[in-house]
Chain A
């Protein structure tokens, strides 16, 4: 029988320091077959391991439309993420996945999409963003509202630039008041307010929302006011996980095992859940 806890080996191909405490990796499977055939969907997550330290759970930040590698982005906060951040290009780490459900991209075809992300929560949204941008013709208006505490806290800055330059994306960047530097060209204000002002088209609209709990709490009413139905607002739930396989027993919210039935839910689904997350 197969060992479900056994990770694949992946090599760090690129390492980028996104912010003072956030790092992103581009990872390639050592195994040729895996490199060719590894398939996943936007919204899936994985267990990343540093051998000798342990495993940590975060999303796959790259788009499934990009082949041959996966990307991830994480904040060095605990024992595992700190040792992961200390890894360099060429080092080998472990990866188990893909796990969990996905954003139903096909259902978004032909619709207006607004992405709303805060701080370190851009990576899960980024997977969907690139998925959408790589299939740009299938979607109508695309709006990205991304905010962080300060300029220094914005991740994937080089891509923000790229999105900004694209004519087919409306990118709205913002930082919390006081977080702007002298050259800041974006907005200043909290994400919910900025989103309200940007007023993306809710008609035939989908919202993909990810951020810290406090941001989500204040953003949901704004989306509703703009006319988004809860069924059309998609988000990912973060809970502590160990196995990612629906066994270790810690990620459930009510009868929902976030690692298997999540992490992607609509706001309508989240509203039905017991207050246990």
Chain B
């Protein structure tokens, strides 16, 4: 099947056209030395040189979101429900590892109790993903968790920069197919399936050095108490950068804030690396040391979540590897686990 192509230079106009349909626009732009997905950025500033430092998480699961409002009147309280601020959104040129994080976390937000705040935003969000021709950063390891630089999980439309000037378009979801009309306005030519296959192959090859991590879960389940945790995690300063930059980390806190006659309840990002996360009022803390908290993060991603939801809670985006201030690389830790499993240790 042939795929429509457009000029790379038309990407900003395409972004504009997609946003023009009443959607808020999110796209990667440069700030200093790094890229960030930003809402409301100028499409002309679109920068695709590497993977952004933040993930797209904040546009579906904001760092601070109101979940309840209330007013006091005498002894009584009046509760007002809050609708999520779920505007139609297009995330333009998300990376595949970011887009793929959505199907990973969806079961969490929907097992038994359905979180409308995530779901309604998800419903309203259109993901136009920019496939990576080759792994954009040394930290990338999507291939290790069953994805690839051109993975289309979670995406509505895939864009492939098949050469420096040409971008191929492939709708993935029904939502993406409905956009055919917008895309076709920019149509310049066609490429064949083979071109996309070659593209994907190039991406896969760029990550050929990454190990599969298929034995990590089994190893973890048998090594809860292992010197590895102290040995690796002594250096962890508990800054939580890994959890906050991670597209799949979803833990949150609930906080009340009020003034004189009312207030609201907020859902804020939280992370397993902080002692307060699990501290009981009694003073007891099940995870009272940093290595235990670090271990929890690895377990949650590579053992607990797969056991519960059948998916690794990691898309291999490498942010926690690249931005850890003390270079405590998650990949190294899980690759060590894999190696030891392979050796039968």
Measured CB to CB, the residues of A under 8 A from B are 1-7, 9, 49-55, 77-78, 81, 90-94, 213, 238-240, 242-243, 245-250, 252-255, 257, 260, 274-277
Instruction: State A179–B307 Cα separation when bound (angstroms).
Output: 47
Contact A247 B113 (CB under 8 A): yes
B81 and A6 within 8 A (CB): yes
What's the Cα separation between A93 and B76 when bound, in Å?
A: 8
Complex interface residues of chain B between 14 and 52 (CB less than 8 A to chain A): none
**A250 close to B111 (CB less than 8 A):** no
Distance to closest chain B CB from A174 (angstroms): 22
Q: By the criterion CB–CB under 8 Å, are A248 and B253 in contact?
A: yes
Beyond known contacts A6-B67, A9-B77, A54-B265: 10 more, CB 8 A cutoff: A1-B120, A4-B116, A49-B256, A52-B256, A54-B255, A77-B281, A94-B79, A240-B280, A242-B254, A277-B286
A248 touches B114 (CB 8 A): no
B→A interface (CB under 8 Å): 67-68, 70, 72, 75-77, 79, 81-82, 108-109, 111-116, 119-120, 224-225, 250-258, 263, 265, 267, 270, 272, 277-282, 284, 286-287, 292, 296, 299-300, 303-304, 307-308
* CB-CB under 8 A for A4 and B114, given A94-B79, A276-B286: yes
When chains A and B are docked, how far (Å) is the Cα of A77 from the Cα of B115? 30
Contact B253 A7 (CB under 8 A): no
Nearest 3 Cβ contacts at the A-B interface: A52-B258, A249-B251, A1-B116
Q: Which of A9, A239, A250, A252 lies at the interface centre, i.e. has the most chain B CB atoms within 10 A of its CB?
A: A250
Q: Which residues does chain B contribute within 8 Å of A55, judged by CB atoms?
A: 254, 256, 265
Asked whether B279 lies within 8 Å of A240 as measured between CB atoms, the reply is yes
Instruction: Enumerate chain A residues within 8 angstroms of B252, measured Cβ to Cβ.
Output: 242-243, 247-249
- List 19 interface pairs A-B (beta carbons < 8 Å), by A numbering: A2-B116, A4-B116, A6-B67, A6-B68, A51-B263, A52-B256, A52-B263, A53-B256, A54-B256, A78-B281, A243-B252, A243-B254, A245-B115, A246-B112, A248-B254, A253-B286, A255-B304, A255-B307, A260-B112
On chain A, the residues within 8 Å of B277 by CB distance are 240, 250
Contact B254 A5 (CB under 8 A): yes
Find out whether the CB atom of A247 lies under 8 angstroms from the CB atom of B116. no
From B243, which residue of chain A is reached at the shortest CB distance?
A: A249
In the complex formed, the residue of A with least CB distance to B67 is A5
Q: Known contacts A248-B254, A252-B304, A255-B303; is A276 also within 8 Å of B113 by CB?
A: no
Give the residue of B109, B251, B256, B282 whose beta carbon is less than 8 angstroms from that of A250: B251
Return chain B residues, CB-CB under 8 Å to A4. Answer: 113-116
* B residues less than 8 Å from A52 (CB atoms): 72, 256-258, 263
Knowing A3-B68, A3-B82, A51-B72, say if A247 contacts B109 (CB, 8 Å).
yes
Q: Which of B109, B112, B255, B278 contacts A239 (CB 8 A)?
A: B278
Q: In whole Å, how far is B247's beta carbon from the nearest beta carbon of chain A? A: 15
- Contact A275-B224, Cβ < 8 Å, known A5-B67, A6-B79, A255-B308: yes
Q: Which residues of B sit under 8 angstroms from A277, Cβ to Cβ?
A: 286
Whether the Cβ atoms of A248 and B258 lie closer than 8 Å is no
Q: Which residues of B contact A77 (CB under 8 A)?
A: 281-282
Within 8 Å by CB of A90, from B75, B116, B254, B286, lies B75
CB distance from A272 to the nearest CB of B (A): 12
Question: By the criterion CB–CB under 8 Å, are A249 and B68 in contact?
Answer: no
Distance of B314 from chain A, by nearest CB (Å): 15
- Which chain B residues border A54 with CB–CB below 8 Å? 254-256, 265
